[in-house]
């Protein structure tokens, strides 16, 4: 099954889970509430302590969320340069290479947690499962541990980020560039 089709299936799973989540008796036709002008814009960012990598160096990178409200589902795709980096497996008991969950959003169901160290891609899709409550606030969504393969620049990019409420509505967030 190709990655595009798998991503489509994961999105459907997120929407299915969102439809089965409790809705606080709010009618499905309720108007969407926009944030008040004084509220901060939700943001997704990558943080680490380095701007370059050396051979055999271990580097921790966090995928962070800030000022997120009513988060029930997360999907993100990340690219890295496989000439200089490889992801260290966070769960050796599971087949393949995975990343670790963060302290802010702990999914009840992980539809995809996949790393391809040959192409330099990470795909992560996780959702809460009813009756779990959505999360609000700021914190770490996921943590990636990289090992340097050769000395070079630290090139990481979030290529796609999708966030959803329990009702399957998109949460718009600004995706920030890597902050060393």
Q: What is the pLDDT of residue 178?
A: 85
Least trusted range by pLDDT, from 3-12, 63-72, 156-165: 3-12
Average pLDDT over residues 73-85: 97
Close Cβ partners of 160 (under 8 Å, ≥ 6 residues apart): 75, 76, 77
Determine the Cα–Cα distance for residues 13 and 135; give it in Å rounded to an integer.
Answer: 19
pTM above 0.75, yes or no: yes
Measured CA to CA, the distance from residue 100 to residue 140 in angstroms comes to 10
pLDDT at 180: 60
Nearest to 110 by CA among 92, 94, 131, 133: 94
User: pLDDT tens digits for 21-44?
Assistant: 444 443 333 333 334 444 579 999
CA contacts within 13 A on the Cβ side of 94: 12
The answer, yes or no, to whether residue 164 has pLDDT greater than 90, is: yes
So what CATH class is 3-22+41-175?
mainly beta
For residue 130, the model assigns a pLDDT of: 87
């Amino acid at each position: 099954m190709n990655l595009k089709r798998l991503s489509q299936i994961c999105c459907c799973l997120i929407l299915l889970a969102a439809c089965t989540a409790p809705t606080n008796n709010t009618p499905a036709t309720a108007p969407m509430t926009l944030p008040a002008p004084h509220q901060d814009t939700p943001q997704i960012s990558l943080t680490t302590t380095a701007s370059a990598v050396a051979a055999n160096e271990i580097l921790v990178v966090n995928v962070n969320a800030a000022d997120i409200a009513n988060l029930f589902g997360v999907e993100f795709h990340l690219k890295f340069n496989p000439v200089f980096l490889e992801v260290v497996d966070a769960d050796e008991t599971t087949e393949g290479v995975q990343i670790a969950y963060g302290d802010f959003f702990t999914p009840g169901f992980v539809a995809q947690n996949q790393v391809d160290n040959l192409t330099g891609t990470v795909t992560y899709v996780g959702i809460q499962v009813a009756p779990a409550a959505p999360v609000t606030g700021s914190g770490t969504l996921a943590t990636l541990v990289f090992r340097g393969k050769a000395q070079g620049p630290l090139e990481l990019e979030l290529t796609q980020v999708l966030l959803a409420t329990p009702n399957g509505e998109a949460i718009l967030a600004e995706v920030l560039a890597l902050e060393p």
